[in-house]
């Protein structure tokens, strides 16, 4: 296997002014790493002919593959083609298919095409032209002096389409003949990164194909499995075998595959069991319900909910007895129980879930900031009330409470 | 004024693997641009001594200020100091204050300090040591061969503290003696970027101090005013004068300054008028209420709300008459009216607001996806019901409906 070294050059003054982050470089790097290509440098250079040229020259001296993003648009500031021409001496021609597409776009929009739009259709001689399916400027792959140059638009949507459809298959051929790389993410809830690594320590250490990479997420933890094989099916089979070994250890925490969210998983569990859920939300203010209703088809599993931030709403709409609100206090197991029990009957759902606690910044009834009670009750009389103390600011505490609610409900439903 | 050219070098293989985006470079670039410093290059290099050295050498040859982030930690992979030593030949010493802090941290945590942690306390001779108030590794500023080298940790929180507190004042002195740069963001709702630019065209064109930069935001539009003067007060006065001219044209759309959110502004308006609001949310699923309850002190302006996703909940809890739900349909002006009127009485709030519509993916009662009715009713009998058709996927439509709800409520309260 030949080791391929790549670098990514982004062209655009907007990046140097800090108006946007170079997320293109991150996205491309992740894909290249998954396909066994080493990315050794990222660079960003402004819309300046000489500086772009110099950056290209340096790249040509140190990398096998140079991926360039940005600077292919219609304005005078777009100088990527000109800089590469200065370096390579290659000539450019108008690409008929791209030009037709640009003309058709302006006709359809009933707008006059200014001459500078023609710039976008120019491609280098001998370039492999990559059709931009979501925008106007085509991409290009150029082989020159044993280097592969890839030119892509800077708009992330266009760059991603061209990279996935055209560039990845091309680059994959460079690095390893007939090798397919596949990856799968396993999403976990209710287990920390350290514990997950501990439970799988020997498997991770012994495993090379697929590789096993634990990753901390914004919420929860994930494991990325990446396998190489001669066919897609073989690669997927290798991943599935390892997934089964992992599930043997920590399967009870696994909730989803790839981009699946916990609310999608809970939605499927509810739908599969023909159950509905309604939430009585105090400190979480509707966030639990909002996330569930974000899932397509949510109407079949969630009739709605009540945000009972004020004690009067807890009493009036959710019938929490005054001996709880007055004597015991609303930050209590009793209140969480009453809220979960009554939201179920008020909304007519199979399951009731409740959130009551202190989001801060001040403590309530001497309960420290972060104290949260979550209650769950179902139509078979099954009940679970738990107390947590979350750390962080007001918004983190609210988010952690909702995430924990989904964890509890996920386990409640399994 | 001497023009200062800067570049930003990020050290860390995690960036080249695409595990994180180089948001540090974006953040630093934005600050430097505001302070009149040209950033000409960003680069990212992995944890490799020779490559980091080469990158530093190139930076020294082309920039006046080199800001380096990352590679200052305790592990063997952290090579920023070693690479700069290779280039500069400067010696390093243990910095007593930093070492004391590191030792104290481990003592407090009752953990044993492994020897590699000492690495973090090493600083170059003659460096200005920058105290890291949120982490362990100190930053450094080093003047050498007419170049300014700034070394900062890669952890964004630590980098930002050191950059704001120590680096910016230092750099400001380099570029313009006794010149202060101040900026202010004006946040607008209910006006597009194109219209805002059109309304202010002549003011923007004629204005040089402060400069006026319109910026599209995730939600709404902002204008950044950036002024230079000899004192902070003078700069602020220049900004205030221009803000007043802008307000003369488009003041009715201005809702906030700097990072203020629309829900914070609505919270203040409610509190100032001693009013409360409750929402009946169908397609928005609790998102409107959640955003308001995210504001500290929200309990004084929002008792709670009802998520009435299912028609039965609209009928039972919000008393929408069956002639509306059955004959007219729930996606209607009448339903929005009834929901807004009744949420006010059911929750006992001064104002009721309602959201009913089609989030998709399928249309409802022949109403196309994106159709949304928003209603508002107050305790003085004032009423407003509006229909919108939003574009986008399910989640965009839901978010746009909530944002529009805040715009309407903001104008309702003014």
Q: What is the pLDDT of residues A310-343, one digit of tens each?
A: 999 999 999 999 999 999 999 999 999 999 999 9
Residue of B nearest to A397 (CA): B294
**B96 to chain A, closest Cα gap in Å:** 32
Question: What percent of chain A lies above the pLDDT cut of 90?
Answer: 75
| Closest residue by Cα to residue A372 from A344, A353, A351, A345 | A353
Query: Rounded CA gap, A7 and A61, in Å?
Result: 11
Give me the sign of the Cα torsion angle B23, B27, B30, B35.
negative
Q: Is the pLDDT of residue B259 over 80?
A: yes
Q: Is the pLDDT of residue B190 over 90?
A: yes
Q: Is the pLDDT of residue A19 over 90?
A: no
The pLDDT value recorded for residue B1 is 47
Exposure pattern of A245-256 as b/e (b: 16+ CB <10 Å)? Answer: ebeeebeebbbb
B interface test, pick of A32, A264, A292, A309 with most B CB neighbours within 10 Å = A309
Contact list in A for residue B397 (CB cut-off 8 A) is none
| Closest residue by Cα to residue B101 from B87, B85, B118 | B118
Which regions of A135-240 does DSSP assign to beta strands (E)?
139-144, 147-152, 180-188, 211-216, 221-229
Contact list in B for residue A311 (CB cut-off 8 A) is none
Please indicate if any CB of chain A lies within 8 Å of the CB of B201. no
| Closest residue by Cα to residue A97 from A127, A66, A58 | A127
**B71 to chain A, closest Cα gap in Å:** 15
Can you spell out the DSSP letters for A228-242? Answer: EESSHHHHHHHHHHH
Look over chain B and give the mean of its residue pLDDT values, rounded to a whole number: 93
B153 contacts B80 by C-beta, under 8 angstroms: no
Minimum mean pLDDT range among A323-337, B207-221, B306-320? B207-221
Q: How is domain A5-175 classified at the CATH fold level?
A: Molybdenum Cofactor Biosythetic Enzyme; Chain A (3.40.980)
Q: Is the pLDDT of residue A254 over 70?
A: yes
Query: Rounded CA gap, A43 and B55, in Å?
Result: 11
Helix/strand/coil (H, E, C) string of B199-214?
HCHHHHHHCCCCEEEE
Contact list in A for residue B22 (CB cut-off 8 A) is 21-22, 25-26, 42
Rg of chain B over CA atoms, in angstroms? 28
Query: Rounded CA gap, B281 and B289, in Å?
Result: 9
The Cβ of residue B354 has, within 10 Å, a number of other Cβ atoms equal to 34
Q: Half-sphere exposure of B112 toward its Cβ, with a 13 Å CA cutoff?
A: 2
Q: Is the pLDDT of residue A2 over 80?
A: no
Please indicate if any CB of chain A lies within 8 Å of the CB of B31. yes
Size of the A and B interface in Cβ pairs below 8 Å: 208
ipTM of the complex in this document: 0.81
> In this complex, do A286 and B283 lie within 8 Å of one another by their Cβ atoms?
no
**A84 to chain B, closest Cα gap in Å:** 18
Average pLDDT in the A380-395 region?
95
> In this complex, do B16 and A40 lie within 8 Å of one another by their Cβ atoms?
yes
| Closest residue by Cα to residue A5 from B70, B57, B16 | B16
Provide, for chain B, the percentages of residues in helix, strand and coil under a 3-state DSSP scheme, each rounded to the nearest 5. Answer: 45, 25, 30
B370 contacts B397 by C-beta, under 8 angstroms: yes
> In this complex, do A284 and B294 lie within 8 Å of one another by their Cβ atoms?
no
Please indicate if any CB of chain B lies within 8 Å of the CB of A409. no
List Cβ neighbours of A60 (8 Å cut-off, separation of 6 or more): A66, A87, A145, A147
The beta-carbon neighbor of B304 closest among A40, A313, A360 is A313
pLDDT digits (tens, 9 = 90+) for B29-85: 999 988 888 899 999 999 999 999 999 999 999 999 999 999 998 888 899 999 999
A262-413 architecture in CATH?
Alpha-Beta Complex (3.90)
B180-257 architecture in CATH?
2-Layer Sandwich (3.30)
List Cβ neighbours of A215 (8 Å cut-off, separation of 6 or more): A193, A221, A222, A223, A224, B19
**A96 to chain B, closest Cα gap in Å:** 33
For residue B234, with 0-12 CB atoms within 10 Å meaning exposed, 13-18 middle and 19 or more buried, which class applies? middle
The beta-carbon neighbor of A348 closest among B299, B304, B312 is B312
> In this complex, do A284 and B292 lie within 8 Å of one another by their Cβ atoms?
no
Helix/strand/coil (H, E, C) string of A66-128?
EEEECCCCCCCCCCHHHHHHHHHCCCEEECHHHHHHHHHHHHHCCCCCCHHHHHHHEEECCCE
| Closest residue by Cα to residue B52 from B25, B23, B77 | B77
B267 contacts B217 by C-beta, under 8 angstroms: no
The pLDDT value recorded for residue B177 is 58
Q: Which of residues 364-403 of A touch B (CB under 8 A)?
A: 394-395, 398
Say what the alpha-carbon torsion angle A238, A240, A241, A246 is, to the nearest 10 degrees: 120
CA B190 to chain centre: 19
pLDDT digits (tens, 9 = 90+) for A86-96: 999 999 999 99
Q: Which of residues 258-297 of B touch A (CB under 8 A)?
A: 281, 283-290, 292-294, 296
> In this complex, do A16 and B29 lie within 8 Å of one another by their Cβ atoms?
yes
**What six digits make up the tokens of A307?**
């945000």
Can you spell out the DSSP letters for B73-123? Answer: SSSTT--HHHHHHHHH---EEE-HHHHHHHHHHHHHTT----GGGGGGGEE
| pLDDT tier, A213 (very low <50, low <70, confident <90, very high otherwise) | confident
Average pLDDT in the B300-308 region?
98
Minimum mean pLDDT range among A64-73, A89-98, B224-233? B224-233
Query: Rounded CA gap, A87 and A80, in Å?
Result: 11
B366 contacts B328 by C-beta, under 8 angstroms: no
Q: Where are the domains of chain B?
A: 5-175, 180-257, 262-413
In Å, how far are A402, B70, B171, B185, B401 from B33, measured between CA atoms? 39, 21, 12, 15, 35
Give me the sign of the Cα torsion angle B227, B230, B233, B234.
negative
The pLDDT value recorded for residue B41 is 98
Please indicate if any CB of chain A lies within 8 Å of the CB of B329. no
Q: Is the pLDDT of residue A180 over 90?
A: no
Largest Cα separation within chain B, whole Å, is 85
Residue of B nearest to A300 (CA): B310
Contact list in A for residue B320 (CB cut-off 8 A) is none
Q: Is the pLDDT of residue B175 over 70?
A: no
> In this complex, do B44 and A28 lie within 8 Å of one another by their Cβ atoms?
no
The beta-carbon neighbor of A33 closest among B17, B293, B310 is B17
Contact list in B for residue A361 (CB cut-off 8 A) is 296
Average pLDDT in the B310-322 region?
97
- DSSP label of B299: G
**Comparing B67 with A17, which gets the higher pLDDT?**
B67
| pLDDT tier, B145 (very low <50, low <70, confident <90, very high otherwise) | very high
pLDDT digits (tens, 9 = 90+) for B129-140: 999 998 889 999
Look over chain A and give the mean of its residue pLDDT values, rounded to a whole number: 93
Contact list in B for residue A299 (CB cut-off 8 A) is 309-310
> In this complex, do B28 and A18 lie within 8 Å of one another by their Cβ atoms?
yes
Please indicate if any CB of chain B lies within 8 Å of the CB of A348. yes
Please indicate if any CB of chain B lies within 8 Å of the CB of A193. no
| Winning range, highest mean pLDDT, from A292-306, B159-173, B181-195 | A292-306
| Closest residue by Cα to residue A151 from A217, A221, A98 | A98
The pLDDT value recorded for residue B138 is 95
**A126 to chain B, closest Cα gap in Å:** 30
> In this complex, do A305 and B286 lie within 8 Å of one another by their Cβ atoms?
yes
Please indicate if any CB of chain A lies within 8 Å of the CB of B339. no
Q: Half-sphere exposure of A266 toward its Cβ, with a 13 Å CA cutoff?
A: 29
**What six digits make up the tokens of A259?**
């981009």
Query: Rounded CA gap, A365 and B264, in Å?
Result: 26
Q: Is the pLDDT of residue A178 over 80?
A: no
Exposure pattern of B65-74 as b/e (b: 16+ CB <10 Å)? Answer: bbbbbbbbbb
B interface test, pick of A7, A18, A40 with most B CB neighbours within 10 Å = A18
Can you spell out the DSSP letters for A316-373? Answer: HTT---HIIIIII-SSSHHHHHHHHHHHHHHHT-SEEEEEEE--SSS-BTTBPTTEEE
The pLDDT value recorded for residue A1 is 47
**A101 to chain B, closest Cα gap in Å:** 25
Query: Rounded CA gap, A24 and A150, in Å?
Result: 14
| Closest residue by Cα to residue B310 from B337, B341, B280, B333 | B280
Query: Rounded CA gap, B175 and B85, in Å?
Result: 27
pLDDT digits (tens, 9 = 90+) for B75-124: 888 999 999 999 999 999 999 999 999 898 888 877 788 888 888 999 99
**What six digits make up the tokens of A92?**
């450019």
B126 contacts B142 by C-beta, under 8 angstroms: yes
The beta-carbon neighbor of B42 closest among A22, A32, A51 is A22
Minimum mean pLDDT range among A229-238, B271-280, B394-403? A229-238
> In this complex, do B18 and A41 lie within 8 Å of one another by their Cβ atoms?
no
Average pLDDT in the B131-156 region?
94
Q: Is the pLDDT of residue B265 over 80?
A: yes
Which regions of B167-315 does DSSP assign to beta strands (E)?
180-188, 211-216, 221-229, 254-257, 277-281, 305-307
Contact list in B for residue A394 (CB cut-off 8 A) is 294, 296
| Closest residue by Cα to residue B120 from B161, B87, B160, B155 | B155
The beta-carbon neighbor of B303 closest among A58, A309, A347 is A309
A5 contacts A63 by C-beta, under 8 angstroms: yes
The beta-carbon neighbor of A290 closest among B17, B33, B285 is B285
The pLDDT value recorded for residue A355 is 98
């Amino acid at each position: 296997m030949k080791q391929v070294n790549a670098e990514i050059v982004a062209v655009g003054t907007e990046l140097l002014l800090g108006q946007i982050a170079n997320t293109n470089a991150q996205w491309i790097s992740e894909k290249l790493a998954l396909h066994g290509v080493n990315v050794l440098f990222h660079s960003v250079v402004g819309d300046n002919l000489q500086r772009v040229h110099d950056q290209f020259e340096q790249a040509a001296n140190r990398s096998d593959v140079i991926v360039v993003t940005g600077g292919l648009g219609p304005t005078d500031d777009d100088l990527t083609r000109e800089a590469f021409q200065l370096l390579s001496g290659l000539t450019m021609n108008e690409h008929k298919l791209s030009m037709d597409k640009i003309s058709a776009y302006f006709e359809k929009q009933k707008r006059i095409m200014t001459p500078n739009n023609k710039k976008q259709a120019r491609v280098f001689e001998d370039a492999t032209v990559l059709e931009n399916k979501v925008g106007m400027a085509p991409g290009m792959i150029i082989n020159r002096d044993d280097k592969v140059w890839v030119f892509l638009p800077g708009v992330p949507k266009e760059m991603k389409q061209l990279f996935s459809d055209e560039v990845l298959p091309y680059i994959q051929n460079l690095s390893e003949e007939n090798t397919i790389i596949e990856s799968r993410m396993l999403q976990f809830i209710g287990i920390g990164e350290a514990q997950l690594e501990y439970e799988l320590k020997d498997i991770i250490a012994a495993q090379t194909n697929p590789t096993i990479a634990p990753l901390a997420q914004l919420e929860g933890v994930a494991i990325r499995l990446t396998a190489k094989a001669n066919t897609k099916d073989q690669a997927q089979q290798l991943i599935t075998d390892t997934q089964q070994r992992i599930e043997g250890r920590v399967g009870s925490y696994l909730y989803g595959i790839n981009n699946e969210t916990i609310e999608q998983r809970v939605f499927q569990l509810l739908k599969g069991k023909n159950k509905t859920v309604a939430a009585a939300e105090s400190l979480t203010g509707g966030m639990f319900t909002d996330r569930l209703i974000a899932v397509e088809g949510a109407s079949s599993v969630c009739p709605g909910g009540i945000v009972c931030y004020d004690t009067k709403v807890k009493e009036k709409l959710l019938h929490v007895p005054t001996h709880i609100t007055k004597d015991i206090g609303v930050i209590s197991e009793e209140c969480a129980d009453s809220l979960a029990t009554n939201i179920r009957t008020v909304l007519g759902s199979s399951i009731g879930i409740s959130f009551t606690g202190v989001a801060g910044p001040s403590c309530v009834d001497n309960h420290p900031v972060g104290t949260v009670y979550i209650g769950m009750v179902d139509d078979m009389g099954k009940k679970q009330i738990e107390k947590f103390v979350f750390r962080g600011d007001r918004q983190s505490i609210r988010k952690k409470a909702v995430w924990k609610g989904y964890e509890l409900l996920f386990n409640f439903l399994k």
